[in-house]
């Protein structure tokens, strides 16, 4: 099953997730910035728990293994947890639904 159409769509999803925080500049249409890569190497320990969760989730979507666990989602506010949950539902239905999710953001 194809979840994302291509890396452009995948990068847009990451940008939306981070766009809800002051981390929005860490992802471009082409993918993570060098600043994002450096922050990942450092373990993103300087971020608040919620920002770190969204940051690591973006890397997981980008196909990079992190130490993010399902348990970490508890750190998200209700609004951000809904954002992630609606993304997961869209991902389960494929790229066209991910496009719809992106349009709604």
In the chain, what are the domain boundaries?
7-103
The answer to whether the CB of 89 falls within 8 A of the CB of 100 is no
- C-alpha span between 88 and 37 (Å, rounded): 24
pLDDT digits (tens, 9 = 90+) for 89-104: 999 999 999 999 999 9
The answer to whether the CB of 53 falls within 8 A of the CB of 75 is yes
pLDDT (average), residues 28-51: 95
Give the per-residue pLDDT at 79.
95
For the entire predicted model, the pTM comes to 0.94
pLDDT digits (tens, 9 = 90+) for 49-104: 999 999 999 999 999 999 999 999 999 999 999 999 999 999 999 999 999 999 99
Lookup: tokens for 102: 């992106």
């Amino acid at each position: 099953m194809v979840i994302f159409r291509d890396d452009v769509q995948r990068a847009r999803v990451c940008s939306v997730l981070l766009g809800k925080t002051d981390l929005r500049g860490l992802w471009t249409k082409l993918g993570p910035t060098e600043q994002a890569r450096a922050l990942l190497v450092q373990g993103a320990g300087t971020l608040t728990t919620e920002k770190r969760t969204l940051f690591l989730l973006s890397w997981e979507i980008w196909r990079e293994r992190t130490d993010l666990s399902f348990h970490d989602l508890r750190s998200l506010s209700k609004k951000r947890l809904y954002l992630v949950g609606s993304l997961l539902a869209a991902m389960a239905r494929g790229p066209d639904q991910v496009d719809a999710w992106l349009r709604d953001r």
